[in-house]
Amino acid sequence: MPEKREGSFSGLLKKFAGSRPALRPEVSVSEVLRRLGEIEADAVAYYEALAKHTDLPWVRQFALRLAEAEKGHQEHFLSEAAAAASASGEDGNRLKEPLSEELVQLLSVRLPLPRGIEKTAIYVGEADAVELAINAERCAVRLLTQLRGYVPEAQRGYVDRVVEEERHHQSFLEGLYEKHFGHAAP
């Protein structure tokens, strides 16, 4: 039976299990952008913790690289949230329409953890951690792609850019997974 290391993936995954307070479908642009900033902050924390707790240099290297990229997204989303909140008139901070139920759910979850993983996290290794990162990037692409149509024109260009960056992260991680574990990620 594997020994639980201090500061292992177990504690890391428990930290990210669960959800945020649910959003209402009728939220402001600034609230959505703030929530996207929080999601990116979780990604930063996950990648930084992964880098700290792994013994494998290649995992540490990719985790630190992605943490930096996600920090940039976080800062930009929070900056855009502040700008939208201070926009003159109600229309400057209004979504085109209420969010769909799926978008409310995607904006309310923390990291998309497989069911029950927090109970078995002492057995989680680098392959599982990379797979979790791949799934988080997939969810980010899905969330941002669907959200794009709700945000005002001024924010769409940046959302498009982040979607492409998250797709690149996903592809990069899938390539690493295949290279280091000998098969495609599940």
**Which among 66, 72, 74 has a CA at the least distance from the CA of 49?**
66
Q: Considering only residues 128 and 184, tell me which one the structure prediction assigns the higher pLDDT.
A: 184
Q: Which residue has the higher pLDDT, 4 or 176?
A: 176
What CA–CA distances, in Å, run from 112 to 28, 35, 43, 76, 186?
Answer: 24, 15, 11, 23, 15
Ranking 17-26, 66-75, 115-124 by mean pLDDT, the lowest is 115-124
pLDDT tier for residue 113 given thresholds of 50, 70 and 90 = low
Average pLDDT of the chain to the nearest whole number: 81
Output b/e per residue, 29-44; b: 16+ Cβ within 10 A.
Answer: bbbbbbbbbbbbbbbb
pTM for this prediction: 0.81
Task: For residue 12, give both structure tokens.
Answer: 């890391």
Look at residue 12 and tell me whether its pLDDT is greater than 80: no
| pLDDT the model gives residue 120 | 44
The number of beta carbons lying within 10 Å of the beta carbon of residue 159 is: 20
Higher-confidence residue: 114 or 152? 152
Give 111's pLDDT tier (boundaries 50, 70, 90).
Answer: low
pLDDT tier for residue 124 given thresholds of 50, 70 and 90: low
pLDDT above 50 for 121: no
- Whether the per-residue pLDDT at 183 is higher than 90: the answer is yes
- Domains recognised in the chain with CATH numbers: 9-181 (1.20.1260.10)
Q: What is the pLDDT of residues 28-38, one digit of tens each?
A: 888 999 999 99
Reported as a single tens digit per residue, the pLDDT across 88-97 is 566 668 888 8
Angle value at C-alpha 17, between 130 and 112, nearest 5 degrees = 50
